[in-house]
Chains A and B, each alone.
Chain A
């Protein structure tokens, strides 16, 4: 069964350092999402890609966060510099891919647990 892959699974870093997370969506899925999940809460969208283009990054803190999906397949989310409040689970999801309406089922990866000290 195809799955969304993420790495690393866990990351511990000190504040002001740079961190990067990687995601490989299910093969053939055009839409890719990055979510942040704070402990005890539901996931919140950071950025959404359709192929290689960003279709929604309105909730991405652009002063420190960046995301790219250069070839429209795998994606990288970067934080520089990391802050204490960035400690959370970072989830990647993919769907077959309508660029605007969210009616395609989103499948999530296992997430990257980030701890900022």
Chain B
């Protein structure tokens, strides 16, 4: 079956530093990947997505990198702010609905 996993459950960074959140996936058939941010008590909020025909995509302060060779996905957040503190989920999709990982908690230290 398809599984999506995250390397670290908690990431602590200083305000202003860059954050990198990593994710591994197992299903080679996955062709769509997405990152969500979830604050406590709220639903997941879309951040950025990428299709398998790309290896990099940039948004506002965020960049997603996809390495299909090693089935690895990362989310980079530039100049991390206190408002970025949340749980971040990667998810992958293909022929079925999204499969989510268990999440990485990002803590931003002032």
Q: Is A56 an interface residue (CB 8 A)?
A: yes
Contacts of B43 in A (CB 8 A): 4, 6, 91, 93, 108-111
Let me know if A113 and B46 touch, CB within 8 A.
no
Chain A interfacial residues counted at CB < 8 A: 25
Bound CA–CA A111/B39 (angstroms): 12
Let me know if B100 and A42 touch, CB within 8 A.
yes
Given A108-B44, A110-B43, verify A101-B93 contact (CB < 8 Å): yes
Q: Is B76 an interface residue (CB 8 A)?
A: no
Q: List 7 A-B contacts (CB under 8 A).
A: A42-B91, A42-B100, A42-B103, A56-B96, A101-B32, A103-B51, A106-B97
B residues near A (Cβ < 8 Å) are 4, 31-32, 34, 36, 41-46, 49, 51, 89, 91, 93-98, 100-103
Which 5 residue pairs are nearest across A and B when measured between Cβ atoms? A42-B100, A102-B93, A108-B43, A103-B32, A45-B97
12 more contacts with CB within 8 A, not counting A91-B43, A105-B49, A108-B36, are A42-B91, A42-B101, A43-B89, A45-B98, A91-B44, A93-B43, A101-B32, A101-B95, A106-B34, A109-B43, A110-B42, A111-B42
